[in-house]
Each structure stands twice: as structure tokens, then as C-alpha cells.
């Protein structure tokens, strides 16, 4: 049996130089004075918050003309450390960043409607293509409007009622009945994405937002970091990207990996965190965290029902070929069958709060 050190060593050797860098020159930063973590993995990478990132091959977008484009020549305005609201297309005023999100508060200056806005480079055709493929799906945040400038795309979305990460953190952990209803919605989204040739890649709790104030209906916030496959059945990827706590073991190794299987591992981390209130793999530093992930060893407390434990284990399998896939997950007994309220024993709760893992 191969040792943990051997499994993790390719990533471990390249992660010794993990350091801090300053954000600069990106839409949505305030003078480039924020510090974020940069993780070095094989083949070189660029930074995006705390995510493990290697660049994605460009995907041709056949549907870009379908967007409700409005033209603007306004660049993003940023003066040192002083942020000035941006007027876009003489219609939207873009304000400060939403806490814990990559979106910005946005106001329609004519109707005063509160919205949110994402600013991305015009070259990010993958994101737009994914939205066009699933634009009518009820579990995906609809695009209110897309505004094009010389440098950026301004994607305007309806305002949500908070995200799932903040909700789990506030609640400590979720009762199984509630977790089941919410996770079933997440699984439906992932299943539909995979059926349409979309690999989400950076799956995490914060990717899902509530569409209603009662916090019962979830939607996928956006397709940032997604890969649109030219052939839906061929999901082999070389680039490596994801939030550290959610990244799968095969991404830490060199070579190709199945994007769909990596998404399913991230689903396992999401379910574990919803039910238990902490990440299955948790450590203060990336090197030790990745060693834990590579080992595949985690503990499920007795407070989780047998069927839920079974689903978690079906998702968090170190061998990608042994994981349950998005087609079969909806048939798993924990999701497929309604049962009486599970009365758990007390759990040792440790709510995930560090931005190292889910910001």
C-alpha cells in the first residue's frame, strides 16, 4: 500500500513556498491592497482568492449573440485605496463587494432595484457559454442583464437571500431533514450541469444562494471557474483549480483527472459540512491539509444516520472510479426515500469560518 507521504509528495514539494501576494489590477479590487493566499501547484498558475488555480483552455462560445447586451465605454474606476461607485451603461451603479462573495452590490438608478453584479474579463467565454446552456434551469441564478465594456463583462443577477456557507456557519450544522431537502437541490443542479457538459470545478457551499427569504430554495450563484466541454462524455481535465478544503485527491497528483468525479468529491465535502458543521479534512496549513486529503482518512460522528454516512462514503472515495456519479446520486436511499425525523446524538461541532477554505 502506497504511503501517504508518497501520494502527497508531488503537491507537497511544490507547496512549501505558499505565500501571500497582493491583489492588483483586477476588476473589483480596491487599489490592490488586499492580501490573499497563493498556492503553487504543477504547471504554474495564476491567483484567484484562495483557490488552487491553473489556467483553463478557452472554450468557444457559439451562443454569445443571444445575450441581452447593452454597450458601455465606462472602465472600472479605482483610485488608490478609495473606491468610487461605477456607473455602468447609464443604468447601473456598482457599489461595494458583498461580504464573502465575488459579487458586488448593484442598483438600477432608474428603478432603485437592488441587484448584484459580477465583473469578468471579456475573454471569459466559458462562463457565458455555461450560462447560455442552462439559462432556463430553475436552480440557476438567472442573468438579469449583461453589459459589455471595452475590458469587462458586467453580469447582473437578482439579489439573493444569503449563501449556504453563511447559513451553515450560523446554524452550526443542519438537521438531516433540512440538509436532505437542500442537498437534493444541489445534487439536481450538478446532475443537470454534467448532463449538459459543464464541469463546475470550484464546488463549495458558498456557490449556492437562497432564492427565498425562508431559505428553502437554493440556486447556483454563477458558473465562474466552470469548464464547458466540447464533448459532454469526455471530461478529462489537466488544469487544477478548486477551494483547498474541497479539492479531490487526484487533483493533487499530476496528470489528467475526471472533472465530473472531482465535482462529486466536492459534493461529499459539502454534505459532510452541512451535517456535521466542520470540514472532513481540516488543517491550518495547505501542506498538511493536502496530505490529509490525499490519505482519504476522515471520521463521521455517530450523530449522522446510517444512510447519510453511506452517501458521504460513496462520495468521499479516494479512487475516483469508485465514487457515485451525478446520474446515480438521486437514487441513493438517503435522497430518494423520505423517512421519519432522524434524532441524532450530540455532535462535536466546529463551524467552518476560515476564509482559507470557502471564500
Residue 291, all three cell numbers: 496530505
Instruction: Name which of 204, 220, 309 is nearest 262 in CA terms.
Output: 204
Residue 200, all three cell numbers: 463546475
Instruction: Name which of 358, 353, 300 is nearest 176 in CA terms.
Output: 300
Q: Which residues are catalytic?
A: 202
Residue 256, all three cell numbers: 489528467
- Identify the structural domains of the chain with CATH numbers, from first to last: 64-72+84-158 (3.30.200.20), 164-358 (1.10.510.10)
CB 63 within 8 A of CB 70: no
Q: Where are the alpha helices (DSSP H) in the chain?
A: 4-14, 125-133, 164-171, 176-195, 259-276, 286-295, 306-315, 333-336, 355-358
Residue 68 DSSP label: -
Q: How many CB atoms lie within 10 A of CB 245?
A: 25
In this predicted structure, what is the pLDDT of residue 173? 94
10-residue mean pLDDT profile of the chain (359 residues): values are 35 33 30 29 34 31 33 39 77 89 91 94 83 87 90 92 95 96 97 94 94 96 90 86 92 93 98 97 91 95 95 97 96 81 51 47
In this predicted structure, what is the pLDDT of residue 58? 30
Instruction: Name which of 170, 169, 176, 167 is nearest 275 in CA terms.
Output: 176
User: What is this structure's pTM?
Assistant: 0.73
Q: Which residues pair with 198 in a beta bridge?
A: 228
Alpha-carbon gap, residue 258 to 103, rounded angstroms:
29
Q: Cα 250 to chain center, whole Å?
A: 18
Alpha-carbon gap, residue 167 to 210, rounded angstroms:
10
Amino acid at each position: 500500500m502506497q504511503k501517504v507521504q508518497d501520494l502527497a509528495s508531488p503537491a507537497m514539494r511544490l507547496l512549501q513556498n505558499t505565500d501571500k501576494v497582493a491583489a492588483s489590477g483586477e476588476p473589483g479590487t480596491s487599489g490592490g491592497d488586499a492580501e490573499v493566499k497563493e498556492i503553487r501547484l504543477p504547471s504554474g498558475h495564476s491567483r484567484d482568492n484562495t483557490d488552487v488555480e491553473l489556467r483553463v483552455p478557452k472554450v468557444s462560445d457559439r451562443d454569445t449573440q443571444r445575450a441581452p447586451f447593452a454597450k458601455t465605454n465606462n472602465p472600472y474606476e479605482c483610485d488608490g485605496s478609495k473606491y468610487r461607485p461605477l456607473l455602468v451603461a447609464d443604468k447601473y451603479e456598482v457599489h461595494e463587494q458583498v461580504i464573502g462573495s465575488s459579487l458586488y452590490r448593484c442598483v438600477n438608478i432608474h428603478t432603485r432595484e437592488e441587484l448584484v453584479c459580477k465583473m469578468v474579463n471579456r475573454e471569459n467565454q466559458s462562463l457565458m457559454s455555461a450560462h447560455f446552456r442552462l439559462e432556463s434551469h430553475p436552480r440557476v441564478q438567472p442573468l438579469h442583464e449583461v453589459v459589455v465594456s471595452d475590458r469587462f463583462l458586467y453580469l447582473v443577477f437578482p439579489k439573493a437571500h444569503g449563501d449556504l456557507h453563511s447559513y451553515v456557519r450560523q446554524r452550526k450544522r443542519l438537521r438531516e431533514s433540512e440538509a436532505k431537502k437542500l442537498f437534493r437541490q444541489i445534487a439536481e443542479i450538478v446532475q443537470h450541469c454534467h448532463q449538459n457538459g459543464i464541469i463546475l470545478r470550484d464546488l463549495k457551499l458558498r456557490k449556492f444562494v437562497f432564492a427565498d427569504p425562508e431559505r428553502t430554495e437554493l440556486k447556483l450563484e454563477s458558473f465562474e471557474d466552470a469548464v464547458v466541454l466540447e464533448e459532454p462524455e469526455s471530461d478529462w481535465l489537466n488544469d487544477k483549480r478548486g477551494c483547498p478544503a474541497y479539492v479531490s485527491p487526484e487533483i493533487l497528483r499530476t496528470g489528467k483527472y475526471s472533472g465530473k468525479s472531482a465535482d462529486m468529491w466536492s459534493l461529499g465535502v459539502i454534505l459532510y459540512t452541512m451535517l456535521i458543521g466542520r470540514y472532513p479534512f481540516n488543517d491550518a496549513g495547505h501542506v498538511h491539509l493536502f496530505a490529509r486529503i490525499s490519505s482519504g482518512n476522515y471520521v463521521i460522528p455517530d450523530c449522522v444516520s446510517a444512510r447519510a454516512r453511506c452517501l458521504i462514503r460513496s462520495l468521499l472515495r479516494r479512487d475516483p472510479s469508485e465514487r457515485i456519479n451525478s446520474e446515480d446520486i438521486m437514487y441513493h436511499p438517503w435522497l430518494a426515500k423520505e423517512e421519519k425525523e432522524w434524532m441524532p446524538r450530540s455532535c462535536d461541532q466546529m463551524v467552518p469560518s476560515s476564509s482559507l477554505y470557502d471564500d
